[in-house]
Structure 1
Amino acid sequence: MGSRDAVDDVDAAIIRVLVESPRCSYSDLAERVGVSAGTAQVRVKRLRQSRCVTIAGRVDPAVLGYGVFAFVFVEASRSALEAARLLSRRPEAAFVVTVGGSAGLIAELRCRDWRHLMEVVGDTRRELRSAHTRLAILESYYKHDWSTFHSGAATANTHNERPAYLVDDIDIDILKILASDGRATYADIARQAAVSPGTARQRVKHLQQTGAVTVQTVVASGLLGLAGYAAVGITVTGPAETIARQIAQQAPVALAATVLGAFDVVAEIGYRDFHDLGGTLDTLRCIPGVTQIESFPYLTELKESMGSWPMDRHTTESPITQQPALNPHQPAP
């Protein structure tokens, strides 16, 4: 994984532009950074090959009929790492990580409907022989942005309304391409999807404008000066939405969401060292209405999906509010 020593000032400038505009042309990138287009292209290729940055399309699972998401906190009777490896094989598990704290591992599940979620949770309990399983069903996001560590800004975004997605097989093909390579050219997309470059451009723009896909540049945590990430489960009194909005305003917070079940709010924070982590947790504790906090520092990431789960559309029985796909963190090693 990349470190600060692996990049120079030109690389850093290129990364800043890519975070803001992941699909900008090499000519635009070169002009903004002050280098030639050829240099920009070579630098971007090297940054991607060294995994200093990952540029990929984050596909909204609602496009494919996945309407119910949940975090599952598992204390397994076996090795947490072995349990995480087993769980990561499930197509519904989009993110799997072993953690410190009261749980051995956390997974994010993306399911078609409530019945599907209950089936997956039941299978998980049986397969993992878990001593204890806690479920937090996602209700709404109030922040979902891993770029703030790079910019130093604190931004919040909410996703409470479920858009109507009308996609066909060509759109699905394009989504697969963008999930694999967020900087795929329109010519490349046209060739792989068997359409004209003009059609490819029009389709990509429409998919981005509707929120069906969001192309993101994820920067390796080492380049951001981060030692790691931690999930935080938060119990509150009063409206969870109000507190989630306040949590979302904190710069170290990359994700904040209201949930139903084990907690009222779930957050994810980046930290530079354990002293920094402790300071952020103290800040969250001081927010009026927060009554209890549990932290789960990430240990080993087993799976991270920005849209690589099976691209098959399903009919949702009982969807809740639309959510975009969770998480890009740094790519798994």
Structure 2
Amino acid sequence: MDVNLDEIDERLVRALQDDGRASYETLASVVGLARSTTKARVQRLLREGALRLVGAIHPAVFGLHQLGHVIIETDGPAGPVADEVAKIDEVSFVTTTAGRFAVTAELRAADMAAFARGLARVQAVPGVRSAQTMTYLRIWKDPYFPPGPLESPGPLADIDLDAANHALLEHLRTDGRASFADLASLTGLSPGATRVRVLRLLEAGVVHVGALVRLTPLSRTYTMGFALTFTGDAEPVARKVAGLAEIDCLATGAGWCDAIGTIRVGSLDEVLATLERLRALPGVRTVEAWTHLRAIKEENDRAVPPA
């Protein structure tokens, strides 16, 4: 279902992307509305399918440590290519775009060898002219992903995932705002003990609860992808880029570019202004951008276990 979001809806979405379990009182203070009105707005967005509140589980939980972004040029229409790419197990996200790249995708795999096999499957799809990749080294900002470096064991170094924790994660990945009482019924623990467990999983970066927004061509929001190359060390530039409010996602890595990101704003003027800020940043060598048109596969709210 295609649902238009007004300015207040967008502010609610951004707040929920930061903390999908934020109280209605907190959300009301962000948008300046009464608690009851704010709750009604959120429930309408959920009911109409404009967003889902989900737990994005760190791929390390599933043994997936190699992630990357692929940009695809096609011979002929992009739609059939995107549909076929979306069927590949290692692919977690696919969009069609306006720009030099007809299709973009994200791959998740256990290691570089498995990642390479997934990329080979993408390259073998009929209609793919070329596919270039950037393997992620660090997630700087992503409403559907716990930020941080991707090396093994990641957030699992300091936490033991027993059966109760796995049950909590499995439920949070589909209902990020589930009550502690409902979650407790899954584990046999008390609501208090369950609350401690959930907060520990959130603080450790094992899961991040946020708002998953449907990407549709009828949205009033402009979603722009961009790629950056740097003149030197990526870290100081990436910190500045991630600090911009208009930046929805940012990852750095190695490959055809140094960083991949997404701009999410309400007008073309804001798109231009954000791109100009990126071009003006010291350390940014080049900026390339494209418009995301429609999501063919959206699984940024979960990591797909290996087959």
Contact 1:237 1:290 in 2 (8 A): yes
Distance 1:240 1:35, change over 3 A: closer
Tell me what 2:180 maps to.
186
Tell me what 2:252 maps to.
258
SS of alignment partner, residue 125 of structure 2: helix
Q: Are 1:292 and 2:286 matched, yes or no?
A: yes
Distance 1:29 1:100, change over 3 A: closer
Instruction: Kindly state the Cα deviation for residue 306 of structure 1 after the two structures are TM-superposed.
Output: 3.4
Distance 1:221 1:84, change over 3 A: closer
Q: Are 1:166 and 2:160 matched, yes or no?
A: yes
Aligned residue-pair number: 296
Residues 18-76 of structure 1 show CA distances to partners (whole Å, capped at 9, x for unaligned) of 5565324568878996446xx77655433310234421111111122110100011112
Contact 1:221 1:228 in 2 (8 A): no
Letter in 1 for 2:196: Q
SS of alignment partner, residue 167 of structure 1: coil
Distance 1:23 1:250, change over 3 A: closer
1:1-333 matched pairs, under 5 angstroms: 1-4=2-5, 18=16, 21-24=19-22, 34-35=34-35, 44-145=42-143, 159-160=148-149, 162-163=154-155, 164=157, 165-193=159-187, 195-218=189-212, 226-311=220-305
1:305 and 1:125 map into 2 onto residues whose CA distance is 21
Distance 1:113 1:17, change over 3 A: closer
SS of alignment partner, residue 204 of structure 1: helix
1:158 and 1:179 map into 2 onto residues whose CA distance is 17
Letter in 2 for 1:159: G
Q: Which deviates more from structure 2 when the two are superposed, residues 80-89 or residues 192-201? A: 192-201
Identity %: 28
Structure 1 gaps of 5+ residues are 147-156, 315-333
SS of alignment partner, residue 127 of structure 1: coil
TM-score by length of 2: 0.81
Contact 2:147 2:205 in 1 (8 A): no
1:138 and 1:13 map into 2 onto residues whose CA distance is 29
Distance 1:92 1:168, change over 3 A: farther
CA RMSD between the two structures: 3.3
Contact 2:215 2:294 in 1 (8 A): no
Letter in 1 for 2:266: R
Distance 1:259 1:299, change over 3 A: same
Instruction: Kindly state the Cα deviation for residue 277 of structure 1 after the two structures are TM-superposed.
Output: 2.2
Instruction: Kindly state the Cα deviation for residue 170 of structure 1 after the two structures are TM-superposed.
Output: 2.9
Contact 2:97 2:291 in 1 (8 A): yes
1:135 and 1:73 map into 2 onto residues whose CA distance is 6
Distance 1:123 1:311, change over 3 A: closer
1:272 and 1:87 map into 2 onto residues whose CA distance is 29
Letter in 2 for 1:130: V
2:127 and 2:11 map into 1 onto residues whose CA distance is 49
Tell me what 1:325 maps to.
none
Letter in 1 for 2:96: T
Distance 1:186 1:124, change over 3 A: same
Q: Which deviates more from structure 2 when the two are superposed, residues 200-209 or residues 303-312? A: 303-312
Residues 189-233 of structure 1 show CA distances to partners (whole Å, capped at 9, x for unaligned) of 2334555544433322221121111111356789xx953211111
SS of alignment partner, residue 296 of structure 2: strand
Residues 230-272 of structure 1 show CA distances to partners (whole Å, capped at 9, x for unaligned) of 1111122211222222222333212222220100121211233
SS of alignment partner, residue 109 of structure 1: strand
1:101 and 1:13 map into 2 onto residues whose CA distance is 28
Contact 1:226 1:270 in 2 (8 A): no
Distance 1:294 1:200, change over 3 A: same
2:95 and 2:183 map into 1 onto residues whose CA distance is 33
